[in-house]
Amino acid sequence: MQLTGSQILVECLKEQGVDTIFGYPGGAVLNIYDELYRHQDEIRHILTSHEQGASHAADGYARSTGKVGVCLATSGPGATNLVTGIATAYMDSVPMVAITGNVAVNLLGKDSFQEVDIAGITMPVTKHNYIVKDVTQLADTIRKAFLIAQTGRPGPVLIDIAKDVTANKTEYQRVTPPIINRITDTFTAEDISTAISMIVESKKPVIFVGGGAVISDAWIELREFVKRTDAPVTDTLMGKGAFSGEDTYYTGMLGMHGTKTANYSVTECDLLITVGSRFSDRVTGNTARFARNAKILQIDVDPAEINKNVLVDHAVIGDIKEVLKAINNRLPEQKHKDWLDHVMDMKKKYPLKYHERGLTGPFILNKLYELTNGEAIITTEVGQHQMWSAQYFNYKYPRTFITSGGLGTMGYGLGACIGAKVGNTDKTVINIAGDGCFRMNMNEIATATRYNIPIIQVIFNNHVLGMVRQWQSLFYGERYSYTTLNDSVDFVKLAEAMGAKAYRITKREEAETVLKEAISLNIPVVIDCQLESDDKVWPMVAPGAAIEEVFTEEDLEAGNK
């Protein structure tokens, strides 16, 4: 049948099972929006307050559901406002399709009104991107984009569509999307045998879990692998929840703000089994001294990550779920009692600690964990609150900690929270933000209230840019250059003005009542928590230091650092 480009786009989205789009209209996408109006009972469109909010919402939807997130924007500034969100998704391997309109084909390249080369701009931060100038190519392009976004290591794909393409007609025939098979042809039985030999020969193994284990939905296989290997487990920000934070084998996060137990264990181990991690600099510290006593076995779907940041002794390249299945089928149960006893002794000796006075971020997170029984989805912005959220909320399941790891995007969390809640209506979804981050995209509270999306926005309001201030305090002689937010902004009034229920917590005794009520209301809620300006994230590894040089506040005060 003959359909317009806009009709073809909507039909292709329906082919792909898309139920939600986050976007913002404009001239170049008017035909698309007219068609979405006709299909609003099949595809829900969430009008965000800003295009960046749309891209982050699509990202949060994707991370929390495992489906492809979709965002839509007009040409020029609408398209460029998506770029930060696209880059965020790219760095953390999030399946997203970003659709942008552009000027008509005969106006391309002429500096036309609201024209920009968005494909050129996004080329470094997409898995692939397309410019569609011919309506006959549109359907196949959309199908390819969704396939690429989900295949292998996921990531964002951009489709830029000229406006006249959305109006022109061509023949359309529905196509059922292909089943996406997991990648298994990249590893051999010999690869698995070598990995098993390394595990069997090891006396002090550590399992290091990254975001790849979450992306591949390998959490059941991972937990079986841990039992078979009888090894302690550490993780990255992206890997949280793939292995339960409540499990006795769990030692905490690794790296700059990792636990002493995790950092010391990796330094002392004789085999580091890395499952879906790319060895980020925030994890490894000084790479020359990282896990220097260990052989390293890396399991990853992306061959580009092998030997990129850290040289490894053996790699198994393939879908993590399938690799772990293959290993579990052949790995005899191991026992490492002496090693585990040593690691568990470190856990007792070096617990995470925070001040038992006043209102603090860790206290609020512990209270949230208690009140939700650890069943909530937590999204975050970037900074101290993000690290506390990683440390003090024990994630039991994958896709429950949604945060910007690779790009470190301030302003990410609120949009992501909205997307996660839209994709998980049965879950409590809470965004943890610092006051500096909240300012960046706080207008998305209006999105939550417009659609009555019942998110809970918790602001750790310490009136400073906390993480930058922490570095200025420790490494820049307490020269607090432009990190103090000593103005008169009232987040409670702002939230109320945007239609949300708002609270302010100033002391510990108020926290439980307010948090409990916020969880029960099932409406958009903003909670302004007044914290001390100089609370810090501990432990910490100084930039350029080895991870075993991790230190705490007590170490600093005792002159041990």
Give per-residue pLDDT as tens, 400-446: 999 999 999 999 999 999 999 999 999 999 999 999 999 999 999 99
The distance from CA 188 to its chain's CA centroid, rounded to whole angstroms, is: 31
Mean of pLDDT values over 188-203: 98
CA 5 to chain centre: 33
Q: Write down the CATH superfamily of domain 189-349.
A: TPP-binding domain (3.40.50.1220)
Confidence band (pLDDT; 50, 70, 90) for 192?
very high
Domain ranges of the chain: 2-171, 189-349, 361-541
Tens-digit pLDDT profile for residues 226-241: 999 999 999 999 999 9
Q: Which CATH class is domain 2-171?
A: alpha beta
Examine the pLDDT at 552 and tell me if it is beyond 70. Answer: yes
Nearest CA to 14 out of 37, 51, 39 is that of 39
Clarify whether 491 is annotated catalytic: no
Please give the helix or strand (H or E) that residue 157 lies within, else none: strand 156-162
What pLDDT does 512 receive?
97
Which member of 163, 204, 421, 501 is catalytic?
163
Tokens of 106: 């005969």
pTM: predicted TM-score of the whole model, two decimal places: 0.97
Active site residue 467: yes
Tell me: pLDDT of 114 over 70: yes
Is the predicted pLDDT of residue 560 greater than 80, yes or no?
no
Q: Closest Cα partner for 405 from 71, 59, 157?
A: 59
Mean pLDDT for 520-533 is 97
In tens, the pLDDT along 298-337 reads: 999 999 999 999 999 999 999 999 999 999 999 999 999 9
Q: Does the active-site annotation cover 253?
A: no
CATH level 3 topology of 361-541: Rossmann fold (3.40.50)
Mean pLDDT over the full length of the chain: 97
Give catalytic status of residue 51 as yes or no: yes
Q: From the candidates 14, 15, 67, 114, which is the catalytic residue?
A: 114
Among 256, 467, 498, 540, which one carries the catalytic annotation?
A: 467
- Model pLDDT, residue 177: 96
Name residue, tokens 């585990």. 340
Rounded to an integer, the average pLDDT of 80-93 is 98
Q: What is the pLDDT of residue 298?
A: 98
Phi, psi for 334 (deg, rounded to 5): -100, 160
Please check whether the two domains, 2-171 and 361-541, share a CATH topology: yes
* Closest among 535, 529, 449 to 491, alpha carbons compared: 529
- 37-72: pLDDT as tens digits: 999 999 999 999 999 999 999 999 999 999 999 999
Token digits for 455? 């998110």
Active site residue 163: yes
Alpha-carbon distance of 297 to 128, in angstroms, equals 30
Assign 486 a pLDDT band (cuts: 50, 70, 90): confident
196-212 pLDDT, tens digit per residue, is: 999 999 999 999 999 99
| Whole-number pLDDT of residue 305 | 97
Catalytic residue among 113, 171, 203, 246: 113
pLDDT beyond 80 at 559: no
